[in-house]
Amino acid sequence: MPRPTLLAVTMSADFLSGTAHVASNRPRAFAASESARGTPPQIRASTNMKIATFNINNVNRRLGNLLAWLAAAKPDVVCLQELKTEPAKFPAAAIAKAGYESSWVGQKTWNGVAILSRVGPPVVTRAALPGDPSDVQARYLEAAVNGMLIASIYLPNGNPQPGPKFDYKLKWLAQLRSHAKSLQQTNAPVVLAGDYNVAPSSQDIYPTTSWDNDALIQPRSRAGFAKLLKQGWLDSIRHLHPDEPMYSFWDYKRQRWPRDAGLRLDHLLLNPQAALLLSKAGVDREVRGLEGASDHAPVWIILKSTKPARG
């Protein structure tokens, strides 16, 4: 399997002629803090900046649904997962026509993550999760966008368990925690958004015993996610909706969507600087009910700032 190819794309004459522009790996948003040598900069987030995560479950097959949701919901930044397309077939032109610049890592048939933005180009800082150079699965993309650092994450499913796929899930989650810990030192707001393939508690799954052996709700999966939160990350959806299920995934089988037999697998985690800006959060459930829908619904937050927040 070839290693995923990074395409950090701006829609330009070069791209339209078949050449993609590859952004610098140096994060522009942090140049000021590096040059200040320890002096925290003031970070101002755009008022009412809407950030969403959406496991699209094949971006080309569901492109019409994606474009319709973008037009209706008008998110400023979107993290996509499960693109299920090789890099050259990512629909950047159609997404650009909708007003969004794109960066992505793709992989034929499986995985794949992207970041879309209508508030400035995503400046890619990482195209893979550090920790295992031999891992070629396209599951992590990180970019500076409009004064924030945003990651699109597709954590391994881990089934069947026990077994090598579950071991890989736990290892990948441990690597994410290690990298996330280093991101806590960042002076800018940070958002870790994506499909974590973990329902953190019994509140995050409909009443059932049919998933008891599934990797999504295993004690070790939940413990790994809880360890991540303990670093200082805020679970934005649960923070603002402590008493509601807030499901984001309904399996195609057994009439789970009509029965509202859902799980909460898609999360937007915020570092303290971003948490200070949190205003609203929700799930666009109705998108799951559309014809040809993904088995996930978009999850979103609004970050609002009325004055500079000092990092």
With a cut of 50, say whether residue 31 has pLDDT above it.
no
Which region among 34-43, 227-236, 248-257 has the lowest average model confidence (pLDDT)? 34-43
What was the pLDDT predicted at 8?
34
With a cut of 60, say whether residue 43 has pLDDT above it.
no
CA-to-CA distance for 51 and 148, rounded, in angstroms?
Answer: 11
Percentage of residues in the chain having pLDDT higher than 70? 83
With a cut of 50, say whether residue 16 has pLDDT above it.
no
What digits encode the pLDDT tens for the residues 107-154? 999 999 999 999 999 999 999 999 999 999 999 999 999 999 999 999
What digits encode the pLDDT tens for the residues 48-58? 899 999 999 99
What was the pLDDT predicted at 305?
66
Strand stretches in 138-248, DSSP E: 140-145, 148-154, 190-195, 234-235
- The phi, psi pair for 145, rounded to 5°, reads -135, 115
What was the pLDDT predicted at 47?
65
Q: Hey, how many other C-beta atoms are within 10 angstroms of the C-beta on 38?
A: 7
Q: Hey, how many other C-beta atoms are within 10 angstroms of the C-beta on 94?
A: 16
What digits encode the pLDDT tens for the residues 49-107? 999 999 999 999 999 999 999 999 999 999 999 999 999 999 999 999 999 999 999 99
Q: Which residues contact 153 (CB under 8 A, 6 or more apart)?
A: 79, 81, 113, 139, 140, 176, 192, 193, 194, 195, 196
Q: What is the mean pLDDT of the chain?
A: 86
Note the pTM of the prediction, 2 decimals: 0.85
What digits encode the pLDDT tens for the residues 162-220? 999 999 999 999 999 999 999 999 999 999 999 999 999 999 999 999 999 999 999 99
With a cut of 60, say whether residue 252 has pLDDT above it.
yes
Domain ranges of the chain: 6-22+41-310
Domain spanning 6-22+41-310: CATH 3.60.10.10: yes
